[in-house]
Amino acid sequence: MKRFVLLLVFAFLPVLSLAADEKSGEPVTDYFPADYPEAPSVRPEGQGIVKYAEDGDSKGNFGRHPVHDNQLFATFKTDRFEHQWKEHGVEVFLWDVQGWIGEDYNKLYLKSEGEVLLEDSHPVEEADLELLYSRALSKFWDVQFGFRQDFRPRPQRTFAALGIQGLAPYWFEVDATAYLSEDGDLSAAVEAEYEIMLTQRLHVIPRLEMGLSLQDVPEYEQWQGITDLTLGARLRYQISRKLAPYVGLTWHRKIGETGHNLKKVGDDIDTLGAVVGVKLWF
């Protein structure tokens, strides 16, 4: 029960903060100074003014909107969609995709990330799906909250998610999310990317990913503190804005208590891999 309440509070905290964001609807009345002379009230024949505020539709005369500044868009992109060759002949396929539907302020995000081990049996190592409501919070940041489902590793887990996504100063694209699992465990993931333009179409993209855990969760091989770190660099060529193949390197290491414990049991805690992939955008 306590967990459930915590989960609820966690997920709906942002809603409370946004409630204060209600748009004030009162019309502006102080355009003219108080002693400003009245305009003559006689109007030419046939030129009565239809006030759009009184026209049934609040934003246009005659039932039309002159502009359409609140359009709904939907998009889907593969941030990473790649084949990885790791050390010791291990090959995996990794996807990291997201899509959204929405307008300037409110969006619904769908994100998924996962890894398939490319062996005969094709076991899925990791796979998750996030469904997030996203709200524009400030000029460069969105607050996002919702749920994450981990299908792998097993047993499956459900999380509440709360994070921010946006553009940090100096053009770093950042996505930082905290997760509360159904067992009450708190963790977080931070991703940051930067685009170095070698030419208009050839870019180098350094990438950093970090995992954190607030408590020991040995059944999922996580211990308190920073759990793992992934550094990558990809060289991407934009054939078009919507099609950009890339090659790169990625280095992953379990660190902190997690690294220490896994090393004790003989696990390989750091791996280097080469990647080939494509960024697609619809």
Partner 1 sequence: MSQGNYVSRRRFIQGVGSAFFLAGLQAALPLPLWARANHWGLDGLPSARDRYDLTIGYSPIVIDGREGTATGINGTVPGPLVRLREGDEVTLNVTNALMDTEHSSIHWHGILVPFPMDGVPGVNFAGIPPGETYSYRYKLVQSGTYWYHSHSFLQEQSGTYGPLIIDPKDGEPWPYDRDYVVVLSDWSFEKPETLFRNLNLLGHYYNYQQRTLGDFIRDIRQDGFKETMDERLAWGKMRMSPVDLADVTGAAYTYLMNGNSPDMNWTALFAPGETVRLRFINASAMSNFDVRIPGLDMDVVMADGKAVRPVTVQEFRIGVAETYDVLVRPREDRPFTLFAESIDRSGYARGTLSPEPGLTAPVPLLRKRPVRGLQDIGMGMMVGEMNEGEMGGGHGGHGGHGEMGTKDDPRIPGPNGPEPFMPDRKTSVNVAMTIPNPRYRLDEPGLGLGHDGWKVLTYKDLTSEEPPEYADTPEREMTIHITANMERYMFSFDGMKYTEHPGPYLFRHNERLRLFLVNHTMMDHPIHLHGMWMQLENGADRLPYKHTILVKPGEVVSALITPIEKGDWAFHCHLLLHMEAGMFQVVRVV
Question: Is the Cβ of residue 47 or residue 121 nearer to partner 1 in the bound state?
Answer: 47
CB atoms within 10 A of CB 265: 7
Question: Is the Cβ of residue 122 or residue 241 nearer to partner 1 in the bound state?
Answer: 241
Question: Is the Cβ of residue 93 or residue 141 nearer to partner 1 in the bound state?
Answer: 141
Question: Is the Cβ of residue 65 or residue 263 nearer to partner 1 in the bound state?
Answer: 65
- For residues 85 and 76, what is the distance between their CA atoms, to the nearest angstrom? 26
- Token match 């996030």: residue? 130
| Interface ranges with partner 1 (CB under 8 A) | 20-21, 23-28, 31-33, 36, 39-40, 43-44, 46-47, 49-53, 59-71, 73, 75, 104-105, 136-140, 167, 169-171, 196-201, 241, 281
Question: Is the Cβ of residue 155 or residue 170 nearer to partner 1 in the bound state?
Answer: 170
Minimum distance between the CB of residue 192 and partner 1, rounded to whole angstroms?
14
Q: Tokens for 86, please give them.
A: 């790791």
Positive or negative, the Cα torsion across 58, 64, 67, 68? positive
Minimum distance between the CB of residue 200 and partner 1, rounded to whole angstroms?
5
Question: Is the Cβ of residue 103 or residue 119 nearer to partner 1 in the bound state?
Answer: 103
Specify the length of the chain in residues.
282
Question: Is the Cβ of residue 202 or residue 272 nearer to partner 1 in the bound state?
Answer: 202
Minimum distance between the CB of residue 237 and partner 1, rounded to whole angstroms?
14
Minimum distance between the CB of residue 33 and partner 1, rounded to whole angstroms?
7
Q: Which candidate, 140, 141, 136, 181, places its Cα nearest to that of 161?
A: 181
Q: What are 57's strand-pairing partners?
A: none
Minimum distance between the CB of residue 134 and partner 1, rounded to whole angstroms?
12
- For residues 106 and 144, what is the distance between their CA atoms, to the nearest angstrom? 10
Minimum distance between the CB of residue 235 and partner 1, rounded to whole angstroms?
13
Minimum distance between the CB of residue 174 and partner 1, rounded to whole angstroms?
12
Minimum distance between the CB of residue 95 and partner 1, rounded to whole angstroms?
20
Question: Is the Cβ of residue 29 or residue 121 nearer to partner 1 in the bound state?
Answer: 29
Buried residues in 235-256 as b, exposed as e (16+ CB within 10 A): ebebeeeeebbbebebebebbb
